[in-house]
Amino acid sequence: MAANDTLSYLMAWATAPLKVASIAPSSSSLAKLMTQDLGPDTGPVLELGAGTGPFTRAMLARGVRESDMTLIEFNADLAHLLRCRFPKSRVLEMDAAELRCKPLYETPLAGAAISGLPFLAIPPRQTLAILEGVFANVRAGGAMYIFTYGFRCPIDQSLLDRLDLEVTRVGHTFRNLPPAAVYRITRMKPAKIYDWRFA
Ligand SMILES: C[S@@+](CC[C@H](N)C(=O)[O-])C[C@H]1O[C@@H](n2cnc3c(N)ncnc32)[C@H](O)[C@@H]1O
């Protein structure tokens, strides 16, 4: 990890510690785990809370095209850094909770969503909005990948049930500060999630 990544990250953390939620970017080990199911055939990918881009880099290494990536980042300085670093991607400086009101794709929809968001620090209402927005932009059979420093999935089972989402644990790595676990979220019945394309 480059020293300037750590500096950019620390500055973002100092501005909004609850939104950034960790003091260092994710390790390459966590990035590999987060992206293990992705490849050239995944098609468009949506990344939430991209930060300095460790998951973006891992996706590129797995063959996801940069031009197929939409990177969402709340922090203006980090969004600027992502634009410089991944010029062929689409970088949107916005709150991921606004995705619900912003259809991102005509067709095809994203094959996967990779989330760097700190769900343990995000209130349930906002988490609900984020999940609705993500799954309205991910095609049937696609998945969302999230990570947590906690011992269980950071999203409440009641919220997952409400949206007919199913969660499975992908794995865990000690080679991250702090150690982290990755979960895959898939949707069981697309119809129950609000989808403006069919409204
Ligand atoms: C834990 S950091 C992860 C950054 C990067 N993905 C990584 O793994 O190193 C969380 C990132 O999500 C961004 N973020 C937090 N809440 C957000 C929101 N509601 N919408 C968009 N970005 C958000 C923060 O600015 C920060 O860059």
CA proximity to 34, closest of 96, 109, 115, 89: 115
Pocket of ligand 1 (CB under 6 A): 12, 19-22, 25-26, 49-51, 54-55, 72-75, 78, 95-97, 116-118
Residues across the chain: 199
Q: Tell me the pLDDT tens digit for each residue of 91-146.
A: 999 999 999 888 898 876 999 999 999 999 999 999 999 999 999 999 999 999 99
The model's pTM is 0.91
Residue 132, token pair as written in the block: 């609705």
Residue ranges of the domains in the chain?
3-189
Nearest-CA residue for ligand 1 atom 15 is 19
pLDDT (tens digit per residue) in 60-102: 999 999 999 999 999 999 999 999 999 999 999 999 999 988 8
Best substitution site from 98, 117, 144, 175 to test ligand 1's pocket, by max atoms within 8 Å of Cβ? 117
State residue 116 phi and psi, 5-degree precision: -105, 10
In order of 110, 144, 157, 171, 197, the CA distances from 29 in angstroms are 24, 18, 27, 11, 37
Closest atom of ligand 1 to 96 CA is 20
Tell me the residue ranges of DSSP E strands in the chain. Answer: 45-48, 69-73, 90-93, 110-115, 138-148, 165-173, 180-187
Domain 3-189 fold: Rossmann fold (3.40.50)
